[in-house]
Amino acid sequence: MKPISLLVATGIIAALVLSPMVAVAAGSITFTSPAAGTTLKGTQSYSITGAVSPIPSQPDSVFIAVKNPSGTTVDAADVAVSLSTGTFDYATATGGSANWVTGTYTITATDSFGATGSSTFSYQGAAPLVSYNVTQALVDIEGNLTQIKAQLSSDFAILQTDNKANFTALSTSLSGITSQLTTLGGQVTTLTTNLGTVQTDVTNMQGQLTTMANNIATLNTAVQAAQTAATGAQTAATNANNAVSSTQTYVLVVAVLAAITLVLELAILVRKLS
């Protein structure tokens, strides 16, 4: 009975000890920065941030390790996890040691309950310093300065020659432009005079047109008076014609009466004679 009781007691104790680990199951860790594909250079500040899923219900921390391309750890820290959001934030910087070489770096994180995650970023180290012989450098610089001086002298001579030729051509061009401007000024003066003459002619023509208009108005009045006189004359001629016709009729009647009287008298005379 004792062995059985001891076994049961051992099982109960193990269950009590392991119950917290069973209650909190291992989850996963995701990183938000640096984002995959990010490239950091030289000595540069950056932050390693992420979140534990599921959000832990008990105090938790994340152990972060940054390893270079050869697997050497160049940065490590234990960072607390927020119980409300499950997030963590570790501010750090690149560089600072010879282990920071150019290449791809791996970030790994593990929390207190076994959740894990990883991410990568690229790092570009500073260009290595190259030793140089100072004396040789001075010789090279002096040689370069000599070449630059010779080149500048040659370029200056060419520039001076070109500038002289350009100045001569420019002076000739300016003289030609001045002559053309003088000619243009004379043409403008002549054009101004011609315009004044044209304006005077236009003014005179306007006066002549005004006089002609007045003469036409006077002639129109005379024509209207002549038309009135012609109408009066035509009326008078008609009246005279009518008067002449009446007179001719009267004379004809008188002549007829006179002829009739003469015939009667001859008839009476013939009758008496017979």
* Cα(135)–Cα(77) distance, integer angstroms: 48
Asked whether the predicted pLDDT for residue 10 surpasses 80, the reply is no
What is the arithmetic mean of pLDDT over 70-99? 97
Percent of the chain with pLDDT over 70: 88
Asked whether the predicted pLDDT for residue 15 surpasses 50, the reply is no
CATH number (domain holding residue 106): 2.60.40.10
Asked whether the predicted pLDDT for residue 134 surpasses 50, the reply is yes
Q: How many domains does the chain have?
A: 1
Closest by CA to 121, choosing from 45, 39, 176, is 39
193 lies in a domain? no
Give me the domain span that covers residue 92.
26-124
86 lies in a domain? yes
The SS3 call for residue 152 is: helix
222 lies in a domain? no
56 lies in a domain? yes
What is the arithmetic mean of pLDDT over 45-57? 97
| pLDDT at res. 141 | 84
214 lies in a domain? no
61 lies in a domain? yes
83 lies in a domain? yes
| pLDDT at res. 5 | 47
Q: What is the dihedral of CA 183, 189, 195, 199, to 10 degrees?
A: -170
Token pair listed for 7: 């076994």
What is the arithmetic mean of pLDDT over 59-64? 97
Distances (CA, A) of 187 to 179, 183, 197, 269: 12, 6, 15, 118
Q: What is the pTM of this model?
A: 0.41
173-198 pLDDT, tens per residue?
878 888 898 888 889 788 888 888 87
157 lies in a domain? no
| pLDDT at res. 129 | 55
| pLDDT at res. 7 | 40
Highest mean pLDDT among 21-30, 83-92, 141-150: 83-92
Token pair listed for 3: 């062995």
